[in-house]
Amino acid sequence: MIDKNHKEAAPTIFIIFGITGDLAGRKLLPALLALYSRRMLPKEFSIIGISRRIWTREDFRQFIREHIKIRPGQYKEEDVKHFIDHIEYEQGLFDSALLYESLKSRIANIENRFKRCCNKLFHLSVPSNHCEPILKNLSELKLHEECSDELGWTRVLVEKPFGNDIDTAIRLDKLLASLFREEQIFRIDHYLAKEALQNILTFRFANSLFEPLWNHNFIDRVHIRLLEKNDVSGRATFYDSVGALKDVGQNHLLQMLALTAMEEPNDFNPENIRKERARVLKNLEPFPTRNLKEAVVRAQYKGYENEKGVAPASQTETYFLLKTFINNQRWANVPFFLESGRALKEAKTEICIYFKDQNTSSKKSEKRENVLVFRIQPDEGIKIRFWVKTPGFPMLIEPKTLSFKYSDIGTEDAIPDAYEKLIHDAIWGDQTLFASTDEVIYAWKYITPIIRSWGTVTLLEYPKGSMGPIE
Ligand code: BG6
């Protein structure tokens, strides 16, 4: 395999906690297979999947086959077979010492086979309350220790939500910091690795056209949406315990906001990019919690309480809309709207920048705004709405759209999935696409007071398949 320095990666063991969970089946295993088929995994590697289900190796292989959705012709069958041959199953409870004894000897066997101390990537694909017991048990047996930070390193990947509020996030961070150096900790927000989102920085800083306008003098408002058609079935128990704001607001939406609003870093190294993203989150104006209802809408789709796994009379929101501001000169008084919901009419993720109508003679009813839209998914691309004269005698004006689609320049396979990039970058130690401790903590500092006052905001209802509570 070729890395940025054209070096071969040492043998690597991926240790995935929560291998039978929704995320592992939908994203992690497909991403590992994709990297394997692109020959972008280390030549020598092994995957240990851990779950509490009592399964034989055969049951587990069957599970993998069923979960990795492969399009006809996507991969060579022999690649799929060889990939699955690299995966071992380890059964156990995350808080049981027995699991870690057995894991230790399994790792030792693999290292004997590879005849050296291997790199180890611990992926905590589990709800956040399992992180502490896992980390403590790993450290009891010194499994987190590395042979050296170059060969035989250990790294840990932690899924979001990172903690459950500001207090639990700080506690988890402290525990991680007691076992690993910051360069070994990879906090996942897979939105940071989406191609169309990464492109925002390129678009802003490589084109001199827009950056001069990127401020409160020219921008009227920004609307960031992550709308989903799916309801919560299949993940209802987890979802009901977090709700939309913690599930995607505290992380994905705030990261989209940070990339849109951040200052240009001195250079584009991971540390500086993360610092600038963190600065935006730090400057978010705290919510007027006493008057929360004026700044937020929260709602639940009709029939949510009947989903299997949802608590009776649950007050968990499946939709929210927040109006927020950034306390700095560039963004003075520019509202940022953050919106997300489940079971909606349409699935789309986008960032819309509405420019001010500079024409002072325009009447309110005929505002002529220019709008720049970053479409993150589906149909990744960029659109600009502008105004032209309608051909003909009268002086009429109408909107038109300039548009660019990623599909015009590459095939679907050319755009790597976010998880492919994350795993790839974690192997090579690049933290640009991962959240720093500051980002996570500032995001929680902002979100926690809202969540603690949620009860004061009426939970609205909306029908499934609608546009949400405000049509
Ligand atoms: C995950 C959330 O982090 O992101 C899910 O837990 C959500 O609830 C998902 O559906 C959205 O990610 P994507 O990549 O499918 O847009």
Tell me the per-residue pLDDT of 24-82, one tens digit each, with 9 for 90 and over. Answer: 988 999 999 999 999 999 999 999 999 999 988 888 888 888 888 787 778 888 999 99
What is the pLDDT averaged over residues 77-93?
93
Alpha carbons 437 and 441: distance in angstroms, whole number: 6
Q: Are 204 and 259 a contacting pair, CB within 8 Å?
A: no
Residue numbers annotated as active site: 252
Q: Where in the chain is the domain with CATH 3.30.360.10?
A: 192-462
CATH 3.30.360.10, domain 192-462, yes or no: yes
pLDDT for position 223: 98
SS3 52: coil
Q: What is the phi/psi pair of residue 235, to 5°?
A: -135, 20
Task: List residues bridging with 371 in a β-sheet.
Answer: 354, 385
- Inform me whether the pLDDT recorded for 147 exceeds 90: no
CB distance 380 to ligand 1 below 6 Å: no
Best residue among 248, 253, 318, 379 to mutate for probing ligand 1, ranked by most atoms within 8 Å of CB? 248
Tell me the per-residue pLDDT of 229-265, one tens digit each, with 9 for 90 and over. Answer: 999 988 899 999 999 999 999 999 999 999 999 999 9
CB distance 231 to ligand 1 below 6 Å: no
Question: What is the b/e burial string over 426-465, where b = at least 16 CB atoms within 10 angstroms of the residue's CB?
Answer: bbebbbbbbbbbebbbbbbbbbbbbbebbeebebeebeee
CB distance 247 to ligand 1 below 6 Å: yes
Q: How far is the CA of 248 from the centre of ligand 1 (A)?
A: 7
The contacts of residue 465 (CB under 8 Å, 6+ apart) are 343, 344, 345
Q: Where in the chain is the domain with CATH 3.40.50.720?
A: 6-159
CATH code at 6-159: 3.40.50.720
Alpha carbons 71 and 64: distance in angstroms, whole number: 15
Alpha carbons 13 and 118: distance in angstroms, whole number: 7
pLDDT for position 1: 35
